[in-house]
Structure 1
Amino acid sequence: MEVVVVDDVTRGPGGGGGRSGRTVDPADRAQLERSPVPLRRVTALFAPYRWPVATVVVLIVAASAVALASPFLVRLVIDEALPRQDVRLLAWAVAAMVAVAATTAVLGVVQTWLSTTVGQRVMHGLRTAVFTHLQRQSLGFFTRTRGGEVQSRLTNDIAGMQSVVTSTATSLASSATTVVGTVVAMVALSWRLSLLSLVVLPPAVLLTRRVARMRRRVTAQRQRRLADLHAQVEEGLSISGVLLGKTLGAGPAQSRRFADTSEDLVGLEVRSQLAGRWRMATMSIVFAGIPALIYLAAGLPATSGGMTIGTLVAFTTLQGALFRPLMQLLDVGVTVTSSMALFSRVFEYLDLPVEIDDPADPVPLDPATVRGEVRFEGVSFTYPDGHRPALDGIDLAVPAGSTLALVGETGSGKSTLASLVARLADPTSGRVTIDGVDLRDLSLATLARVVGVVAQETYLLHTTVRENLRHARPGATDREIEDAARRAQVHDVIAALPDGYDTVVGARGHRFSGGEKQRLAIARTLLRDPWVLVLDEATSALDTATERAVQAALDEASRGRTTITIAHRLSTIRDADRIAVLAAGRLEESGSHAELLAAGGRYAGLVAAADRDVALAA
């Protein structure tokens, strides 16, 4: 069974109040059309909790059934105990009322505890599964997907699903039980007044839903403007946003934009509040009007049927309790559609294919015995949306412990080639090997221990310096962390901080300079101690003095390791054992610095151009 589209129905003031008047969201409809959800897949999530779920259903039915006793007890008091002044009967009836209230309260607490526990366990499993699955996605997925969308599915959608499980599902079950039981009890009390209720209830429901729909439209507009306001706050008051605004002089324009959005919210908020008051007024009229008509009918000889006062009070009590659960049941189509759309969005992420995955039978490779020989054998690579190969037939050998420098103009394929060594992508054809083993035959955990990457852009977590470094090796001791920092020539910088290694780095490490962040990244890599090191333009954005400090740290990091370096500044790679020159994804030439200069090819031209730039700058 697959849920695709549910009829477009509107939501009245059942249950949640604030969510009343909803119609089927076109986005939910489109989501289910694009990615239908088999109902059995949803129910399978709850299979491990079948007994708690069954218990919740029993408790809901029991609570609804017990609650129906209250109106009959009221009738007993009014018609029997009070007129006869039967104190014993009155005491028993009052005690029964208290017992009914206590029983329903206890059943409600137990039901809430069970349903919330089941919902939280299911959501915990989904959250963990989605997070783990997304971590296995390739970099291509994250470049194609907005970060906010990923966070929304992990937090908002799964939180919404939890609400479906713990609130919506139990509320619908309770409403269904209450409506059936109440209608039966009303018919048992007075079939004439029951017919009257069936006549006057539909117009009352229609009126309430119409007003609620009007409020929903206004509220939706207000929510959109609030979202715009929040986006402007995030863009304008984040560290990067403030920096951009100050450097571009865009502060006044951002303030005017913010003021315009806030001004729109004033009118929308007033309209929303008025719509809310109209809704409450309509419901008040409904709640007052229906009992009034019932009282009128009970007083007319043609419709009263000899009704007692106790029966009338019991009937109006039951009838008043019927309105809200009935509205919830009428809204079940919207509820199911929105709920299944939430599951659809989460399952959509869980069903994403993993492009870079562990092999079924990984080749064992002991990191302690790795020599670090890297080979590119007929390597070609084309991005999924690419029109031409980013790499085409690359053959290169990097002996263990040697240094390979990749040079070339922007877009020549340097970073793409280096990314294949860390298996951030797999070749479209050909293979990359370490010590003769295809990287695709190694487990990702083994490869991460063998290959380390220092990128141009360093990412630091919002935690202490110590924990940022320990992120590379959770079991590292404080002494090993400090030793790695010394080798990366950043220990003195850390020691001078207010709390040393326990200093919180701040959002994205903004308290550190570019060179300091690079050396922290190098220290992190040294702590992991890989045999193959990939340096992706690690000094291209640094000034000359800082570059020297970072280059010294890189030289220390490269000692004894196979190193593949990408650099725009050719001065940093002249001592490399081998230099490979790429152009339009092809290997143009390779050799040592001296050999390539003597050949007078593309590399010689790049060096001459770099020397001219230095001379002009001087």
Structure 2
Amino acid sequence: MHPDTPPPSWTLSAQEPERPAQVRRILRLFRPYRGRLAVVGLLVAASALVSVASPFLLREILDTAIPDGRTGLLTLLALGMIAAAVVNSVFGVLQTLISTTVGQRVMHDLRTAVYDRLQRMPLAFFTRTRTGEVQSRIANDIGGMQATVTSTATSLVSNLTSVVATVVAMLALDWRLTVVSLLLLPLFVWVSRRVGAERKKITSERQKQMATMSAMVTESLSVSGILLGRTMGRSESLTQQFAQESERLVDLEVRSNMAGRWRMSTIGIVMAAMPALIYWAAGIALQSGGPAVSIGTLVAFVSLQQGLLRPTVSLLSTGVQVQTSLALFARIFEYLDLPIDITEPAEPVRLEKVRGEVRFDGVDFDYESPAPGASNGTAVNGTSVKGAPVNATSVNGTPAMDISKGAPVKGTLRGIDLTVPAGGSLAVVGPTGSGKTTLSYLVPRLYDVTGGRLLIDGVDVRDLDFDTLARAVGVVSQETYLFHASVGENLRFAKPDATDEEIVAAAEAAQIHDHIASLPDGYDTLVGERGYRFSGGEKQRLAIARTILRDPPVLILDEATSALDTRTEQAVQQAIDALSAGRTTITIAHRLSTVREADQIVVLDGGHIAERGTHEELLAMGGRYAALVRRDSHLAPVAPAV
């Protein structure tokens, strides 16, 4: 027995996670690549040691080889400096190759993890989240982290190692000059932290704005969006709206790039002026009677100091980049932390052969989960909704629930008891919002029941493994979705290993083969964005052919002909009849002409079963079904109730 399913929460947290925990989580992403990172660490250490060797060689040239006229020593030291440069370059190339590979693998892991999480999210999440918002998380947010993931981690280690090695070398040359060089370092660190915090805040705002623009592009530049904009005369208005959103992004980009720029430039100026400070300090020490600093030591020290400048500035910049990237990681982790309420049990039941009996046993269902962001006043796309009523909407526009009041509305189901024998047919009719589509979506587990059980061949669908359920149930909905690919590729989506003969046979059964064959490229014809090159009836028959290829024992027809004209409906209905033969069929009907031959008809009203029986029995009752028939122009007049 399953307990009643609690309502899930897909709320995106408006509160930032604690920084140490977030950093630890980021570091865990690199754990599978520890071996490669260890090699990078060795290369970095070796490179740092080779780099600091050159100033010591330079000191010996200036203090010993040249003054003493030792040509052999001079040649050896010069060759040593050249060799150090060559070795350092080779180490740098190998380091870049390995670190970039590791970074790109981490990016791949992140992308696939987010995509996998979204694939397993319930249907309600997608009905409440703008498509552009989802795309922005995968494209913009993960893409924005690329520089940090691929190079910043290695740069951090490399620069830190270089700084430590250089400081040690400077201390070995002259500890007094080293102290003078490091006096301002704490101030530099404080400035960079302030700049990083400022940029992190701006980055979060920028990514939200990019998500808004991505959603607008997705919605308004699709085939449907273009048609709507032009037929409503809103094309110019949409362009102006996009320009306004783009202006906001321009402002955020400028602010992001200029945040702390003057402070960081000041650090660069001070670092560049440090050699003059060292010369001054050496001169003061000599005039004060202190030990003299040799020309070689002084030049070598300034060389090391210049070598310290680049990694120090890079470290400060890396700190800023890391803080900026934390905002992007936070947005990605939000998606990875979304709860998945429809899961496969630890020990799922696998049915090798499904007969197709479907039974609703006291089924209840409510759309009670709040929309993402509703609980904290922030929608998924960052739009504030606090204090405003939020009306959740299910698939195909079925009203779900008034979140602001917390009360169930249309689309809620109560106490549904139904049995559809294997190979039998059930038609579900009722007014808009009575729960018809909701009922049908419970069978393939697009939603989970919140009370009672739904069984296929006596097994609760929540106990079945996903593969069994996918093989058992096929859905043909009113809105057919086709990929921007060829006809053949769209059909093979249902069965990737289908032969050409199987595809043709399915198309013939769906009465669409002749039309496909008449096209110049036949089954290689591109269907266009969302199948715009095909009419509604043709797309429906392609969807039916796709389902025939899958050959599911249970078939859900969700108002599959409601948007078609009468002539097209007849052609599609013939294809549906061929598809339904020998299968358990549940038909969600808008036009009652399609349900007369069903073994049983159920009338839903307000989420309850108001009537059930055959077409003739329900007509004889003279109730709700009879009233619906009287309004349906496709059927003959109703006989008087007995």
TM-score bucket of the superposed structures, by smaller chain: 0.7 to 0.9
TM-score for the superposition, normalised by structure 2: 0.81
1:597 aligns with 2:582: no
**Which of 536, 540, 561 does residue 562 from structure 2 map onto?**
540
The code of the aligned residue for 1:424 comes to L
The code of the aligned residue for 1:166 comes to T
For 1:405, what is the secondary structure of its paired residue? strand
Identity %: 59
Q: How many residues align?
A: 586
> 2:111 and 2:580 mapped to 1: Cα distance?
39
> 2:115 and 2:157 mapped to 1: Cα distance?
32
Query: Structure 1 residues 462, 217: closer, same or farther in 2, change over 3 A?
Result: same
**Which of 320, 333, 340 does residue 354 from structure 1 map onto?**
340
Q: Name 1:302's counterpart in structure 2.
A: 287
User: 1:501-559 CA distances to partner (integer Å, 9 max, x unpaired)?
Assistant: 11222222122221111111111000101111100011111122222221111111111
TM-superposed deviation, 1:350: 4.0
The code of the aligned residue for 1:302 comes to Q
TM-score for the superposition, normalised by structure 1: 0.84
Query: Structure 1 residues 276, 613: closer, same or farther in 2, change over 3 A?
Result: farther
The code of the aligned residue for 1:198 comes to L
Q: Name 2:306's counterpart in structure 1.
A: 320
> 1:157 and 1:261 mapped to 2: Cα distance?
18
Query: Structure 1 residues 204, 582: closer, same or farther in 2, change over 3 A?
Result: closer
> 1:200 and 1:343 mapped to 2: Cα distance?
32
> 2:60 and 2:291 mapped to 1: Cα distance?
19
The farther-off stretch of 335-344 and 208-217 is: 208-217
Alignment of 1:209-248 (within 5 A): 235-248=219-232
For 2:542, what is the secondary structure of its paired residue? helix
Q: Name 1:375's counterpart in structure 2.
A: 359
The farther-off stretch of 408-417 and 280-289 is: 280-289
Q: Name 1:132's counterpart in structure 2.
A: 116
Q: Name 2:587's counterpart in structure 1.
A: 565
Q: Name 1:576's counterpart in structure 2.
A: 598
For 1:380, what is the secondary structure of its paired residue? strand
Query: Structure 1 residues 493, 224: closer, same or farther in 2, change over 3 A?
Result: same
User: 1:397-440 CA distances to partner (integer Å, 9 max, x unpaired)?
Assistant: 22222221100011111111111121222222222222323222
1:49 aligns with 2:33: yes
| RMSD between aligned residues | 3.7
Query: Structure 1 residues 498, 73: closer, same or farther in 2, change over 3 A?
Result: farther
**Which of 81, 95, 101 does residue 97 from structure 1 map onto?**
81
Structure 2 residues without counterparts, runs of 5 or longer: 1-11, 370-400, 402-406, 638-642
Q: Name 1:32's counterpart in structure 2.
A: 17
The code of the aligned residue for 2:451 comes to S
TM-superposed deviation, 1:477: 0.3
TM-superposed deviation, 1:260: 5.3
TM-superposed deviation, 1:604: 0.7
Q: Name 1:16's counterpart in structure 2.
A: none
1:177 aligns with 2:161: yes
Alignment of 1:429-448 (within 5 A): 429-448=451-470
TM-superposed deviation, 1:52: 2.5
For 2:633, what is the secondary structure of its paired residue? helix
2:103–2:149 Cα contact (<8 Å) kept: yes
Q: Name 1:17's counterpart in structure 2.
A: none
1:207–1:282 Cα contact (<8 Å) kept: no
Query: Structure 1 residues 212, 566: closer, same or farther in 2, change over 3 A?
Result: closer
The code of the aligned residue for 1:311 comes to T
The farther-off stretch of 441-450 and 479-488 is: 441-450
> 2:256 and 2:623 mapped to 1: Cα distance?
72
The code of the aligned residue for 1:374 comes to V
Alignment of 1:70-469 (within 5 A): 70-159=54-143, 163-199=147-183, 235-259=219-243, 282=266, 285-300=269-284, 301-302=286-287, 305-329=291-315, 345-367=331-353, 370-385=354-369, 386=401, 387-388=407-408, 390-469=412-491
Alignment of 1:514-553 (within 5 A): 514-553=536-575
2:192–2:316 Cα contact (<8 Å) kept: no
TM-superposed deviation, 1:107: 1.6
1:36–1:344 Cα contact (<8 Å) kept: no
> 1:265 and 1:153 mapped to 2: Cα distance?
16
1:161–1:339 Cα contact (<8 Å) kept: yes
> 2:63 and 2:13 mapped to 1: Cα distance?
52
Query: More helix per residue: 1 or 2?
Result: 1
> 1:35 and 1:422 mapped to 2: Cα distance?
42
For 2:360, what is the secondary structure of its paired residue? strand
The code of the aligned residue for 2:151 comes to S
